Structure 1
Amino acid sequence: MNHALFIYNAAILDESLDGPGAVLIVEGKIRSVFQGYFTGAETVKSLAAAILAEDGYENNYTISYLDAKGLTVTPAFIDMHVHFRDPGFTQKEDLLSGLRAASAGGYGTVVTMPNTKPVISSAEQALEVNRRAAEIGLGTVIQSVSITRDFAGTDTAHLDELDRHSVPLITEDGHDVASSAIMLDAMTKASEKGIIVSCHSEDCSLAAAARPHRERALEIMRQYSLPAWGGNSEAEDVPEEALEEIEDEIEEANALLALAENVATSRNIEIARQAGCHVHICHISTAEAIDSVRDAKEFLRDEAADFYADMAVSAYDASLESRPFVPLPPAENGFSVTCEATPHHIALCGTDEPYIRAFVNPPLRTEEDRIVLLEAIRDGTVDVIATDHAPHTLEDKANGAPGFTGIETAYGICNSVLVKEGQISAKRLSQLMSANPARILGLNKGLLKSGYDADIALVDPDERWTVDSGEFFSKGKASPFDGSILTGKVKALFTAGRKIFG
């Protein structure tokens, strides 16, 4: 007997819907989305029965009914940037703990980074990770592959064997490809195959110059047991001169790392333009890097306008003017640009206490940079919110390992800072967290629309809750948001119409 699920008495939300409604799911796909007030169980049962009868299934299906009790039904989130540390670093995270954390955060699909041990440098390795994740049955993992073999920075021969349907994205995340010639070679191969090149844009020599400053700051922080994740621990007992030295060293490092991001972002975009490649800029964080992406998008917008003008003005209006936040079509040679922002760069200022001591790459930036990032989210320069979920053991964090656990708090942070503070609408947030990453990756997900995969989250956008990192499903407990009060809570997650959380 086949199964159908009818979720009613809900608010429905995606990039174009925001209001009361209901959703009928049949065999893991969205069959119908209804707008309006569907609160009566008998009415809902009659409607579901009529639709299944129309499809010829009235005697072949059992139907379950879920009263959402006013909760919001929204497409499950899609994270283009997570570290699950599996294989090789499973003391930090593994596929099971990572997927449990993703489910609790409302994520039905994640793209995992290849900086594991061994480095994921072949389609065979990537597909093995995907297979093991599928056996767990908690959402979809898309394992990315390294740009250069084993992150050595010299060999791209393994890219010749890739297929975009199984490996849609390659990345050297954790650092950048130092050689521009090697990057051009990789991007040219990726362009020929339609594979996205996701760039951790950071000039390697400038990053190396910043390292001694960070190490000196960490040395002093360890002397006084100051956490390296911006925790809410008191610094009152630390001598003022020690705090000043820490701050000075971190400011020196961050200035170099800002320059590193600016230089590498511009370089990677220009190489992608030459190669005719789709470049995706990871965790964008500086005003100058945002300007580089915005300028590239203006070039693409002008090219698209010229193309549509040759066809019909109305085609241009329909494709661009009425959908300003959808990723732009590629240039004639295939060049295109997208970028992502993280919840921690959206919410936190890296010159504030205690977040100046929160070690992450790229660093938390100035308030000026953060304000520019918010504007880039509002004007469509930023396409995606991705968590860069980076769990570490507490010992590794104390030794300066960069990154935070973030996939379980992402929705609450973004809803609190972006929607509740009036920066963007709830529909725009759904686009950033669901629709756009699905479009970029070529997935049949991200919208409440007939025929789409029924990956659905139930959220309460108004529930206030206090972050307790000790309760995370993730093995990583280091979070600068520990103890913060957020608004917006994931209550349940369904993938392919099957409940996996809540």
Structure 2
Amino acid sequence: MLLIYNARLVDKNIDIKNSAVLIEKNKIAGFPSKTNVQMLLKDPKVSSFNARGLTLMPSFIDMHAHFRDPGLTQKEDIETGSKAAAAGGYGLLVLMPNTNPVISSQEAALANDKKAADLGFADVIQSVSITKDFDGKTISHLEELNAKSVPVITEDGKEVADSDIMFRAMCTAAKKKLIVACHCEDPSLAAAARPLRKEALEQASADKGRAVKLLKQADEILQLAEDCATFRNIRLAEQSGCRLHLCHVSTAKCIEAVHRAKKEGIKVTCEITPHHLGLSENKTNIFHIVNPPLRSESDRKALVKALLDGTADVISTDHAPHTSEDKAAGSPGFSGLETSFAVCNTVLVKQNGMKLKKLSELMSAKPAEILGIKNRGLLQEGFDASLVLVDPDRQWTVRGEEFASKGKYTPLEGKKLTGTISATFLHGKIVYQE
């Protein structure tokens, strides 16, 4: 047994100071009174952990992360990704299938799940591609999937261009109770933006002003690409009856579309990333390239509002590590697991008045609910003892070189954030301690 005492307990429903949690057989066994805590501290059969007044929450659940395994392990692998997750307070992550080869079968997905479980730093749910090997047309493999083993399908990093193929995939997903997670980006518009980005990077040293202008043009096209694909996918989901999850929503128009869809009873949820919350378009560093791009300040504020008012459902990192060489060549994305809580705590709690209970809902309880996981995301007796101890008031400076992830690039380099991870427990065992 393990007793975590002298803790503030926070989840979506509670905020209790000077409390304790007793863990037995990987589960939360109860919440001892102060008198019982003193008795348990004297029991030689009980291990103890003094939380020193810090805040104990359910560990975070990430519905969108890239561990690059197999085939791209120079950027990340399941071991380094899992260690980064533990350092960021995450106990469970949904991994994207854009690996090499693409994850297009239940067998391959379960192999990654097992690899993470054997390592023991974080649990993963490996998603499967919507079309086989991202070929844009073959969906017969979806019939083989069991939603209990592989609950999520996605063409992440791409979009299924053919609306008929996407509709038929959604119909299969509805029948099999799979979640369709969409990277909403019209492929033809995305292709039109690509050469502008390439030229911007080539011009970066010779003519920075022109480079910034080119990047701005690319971002405007990509905003249209996200809006168009989002509208299409919501309509297809309505017709097919599938459960639609919109990845990394980044524009005010897409938030409006989600709001309307929910009012109409369409089964849609959406996620927002910490980097789209904490950053807006940057005219000084063109290497802050990500898909979708960092948006305008008005878009950023719309995302914050969507999380505050419940339009948006979860926060997901879109952790996308790259080598320094790939990043310099313009690869989109960056590492986010180890800064996620701090960014969200800083922007949402400290700057916009969100309760820590609400942040716990967005990062733990709601992802568990969407994924159909009934024993995670809350501090309740009988629930899995995957927990995170945080200091929500401690300030620190981001240094990418200190990340556990192989991907050291972060647009937050040198920034001061508030909120640190002190310890992470997976199934009742410490897997990270500051």
Q: TM-score per shorter chain, which class?
A: over 0.9
1:25 partner amino acid? I
Matched, 1:468 2:399: yes
Instruction: Say which of 125, 131, 146 aligns to 2:114.
Output: 131
Give the stretch that moved more between structures: 473-482 or 22-31: 22-31
Is the partner of 1:266 in helix, strand or coil?
Answer: helix
SS at match of 1:62: coil
Aligned mates of 2:354, 2:278 — CA distance in 1: 14
Deviation at 1:263, TM superposition (A): 0.4
Does residue 457 of structure 1 match 2:392?
Answer: no
SS of the equivalent of 2:193 reads helix
Per-residue deviation, 1:26 = 1.2
Q: 2:209 aligns with which of 244, 247, 250?
A: 244
* 2:405 counterpart SS class: coil
CA 1:422–1:19 in structure 2 vs 1: closer, same or farther (change >3 Å)? farther
* Equivalent residue runs for 1:226-237 within 5 Å: none
1:262 paired with 2:262, answer no
**2:319, 2:335 within 8 Å by CA — same for their partners in 1?**
yes
Equivalent residue of 1:273, what SS? helix
SS class of match (1:98): helix
Q: 10, 13, 17: which one pairs with 1:16? A: 13
Instruction: Give the equivalent residue in structure 2 for 1:417.
Output: 347
How far apart are 1:277 and its partner, in Å?
A: 0.4
**Separation of aligned partners in 2, 1:293 and 1:141:** 27
Q: Give the drift of 1:131.
A: 1.1
Q: Distance in 2 between matches of 1:465 and 1:290?
A: 32
Q: d(CA) in 1 for partners of 2:123 and 2:183?
A: 23
Q: Does 1:155 align with 2:148?
A: no
The offset of 1:19, in angstroms, is 2.3
Superposed displacement of residue 48, structure 1: 8.3
Q: C-alpha distance in 2, partners of 1:445/1:48?
A: 27
| CA distance 1:297–1:355, shift in 2 (3 Å) | farther
Unaligned runs of 5+ in 2: none
Letter in 2 for 1:243: K
Task: Verify: 1:90 aligned to 2:87, yes or no.
Answer: no
Measured on the aligned residues, the alpha-carbon RMSD in Å equals 1.5
Asked whether the 8 Å contact 2:131–2:139 carries over to 1, the reply is yes
Residue number in structure 2 paired with 1:373: 303
What's the offset of the Cα at 1:45?
A: 3.9
Distance (whole Å) between structure 2 residues aligned to residue 415 and residue 468 of structure 1 = 18
Q: Is the 8 A contact 2:83 2:122 kept in 1?
A: no
Query: What residue is the counterpart of 1:282 in the other structure?
Result: 247
Q: For the residues of structure 1 that align with 2:360 and 2:285, how far apart are their CA atoms?
A: 28
Is 1:492 the counterpart of 2:423? The answer is yes
Superposition pairs of residues 318-333 of structure 1, within 5 angstroms: none
Corresponding letter in the other structure for 1:486: L
Q: Per-residue deviation at 1:72?
A: 0.5
For 2:389 and 2:29, the matched residues in 1 are separated by 18
Letter in 1 for 2:399: D
- 1:168 paired residue number: 151
Tell me if 1:442 matches 2:425: no
Structure 1 residue 356: deviation in Å? 5.2
Cα offsets for 1:395-434 (capped at 9, x unmatched): 1011110001110010011101110113411111100100
Task: Give the SS at the match of 1:209.
Answer: helix
Q: Which residue is 1:339 aligned to? A: 270
Q: Shift of the alpha carbon at 1:32?
A: 1.5
Q: 2:318 aligns with which of 388, 393, 409?
A: 388
Q: Check conservation: 1:374, 1:423, Cα contact below 8 A.
A: no
Q: CA contact under 8 A between 1:77 and 1:433: conserved in structure 2?
A: yes
* 1:44 aligned to which of 22, 37, 47: 37
Compute the TM-score of the two structures, normalised by the length of structure 1: 0.84
Structure 2 distance, partners of 1:365, 1:62, is: 54
- Aligned partner of 1:426 among 341, 344, 356: 356
Is 1:358–2:358 an aligned residue pair? no
1:213-254 per-position Cα deviation (integer Å, ceiling 9, x unaligned)? 101101112x46xxxxxxxxxxxxxxxxx2221121011101
Contact 2:159–2:184 (CA under 8 A) maintained in structure 1: yes
The alpha carbon displacement at 1:43 in A equals 4.3
Q: What's the TM-score once normalised by structure 2's chain length?
A: 0.97
**Is 1:182 equivalent to 2:182 in the alignment?**
no
| Whole-Å separation in 2 of the counterparts to 1:484 and 1:87 | 33
User: Which structure has the larger Rg over C-alpha atoms?
Assistant: 1
Displacement of 1:354 after TM fit? 3.0
**Counterpart residue type for residue 375 of structure 1:** K
Q: Which residue of 1 aligns with 2:55?
A: 72
Question: Sequence identity of aligned pairs in percent?
Answer: 53
Opposite residue 89 of structure 1, the aligned amino acid is L
Contact 2:244 2:269 in 1 (8 A): yes
Verify: 1:291 aligned to 2:221, yes or no: no
Residue pair 1:24, 1:48 contacting (<8 A) in 2 also: no
One-letter code aligned to 1:370:
R
Letter in 1 for 2:112: V
Contact 2:287 2:328 in 1 (8 A): no
Distance in 1 between the 2:97 and 2:41 partners? 44
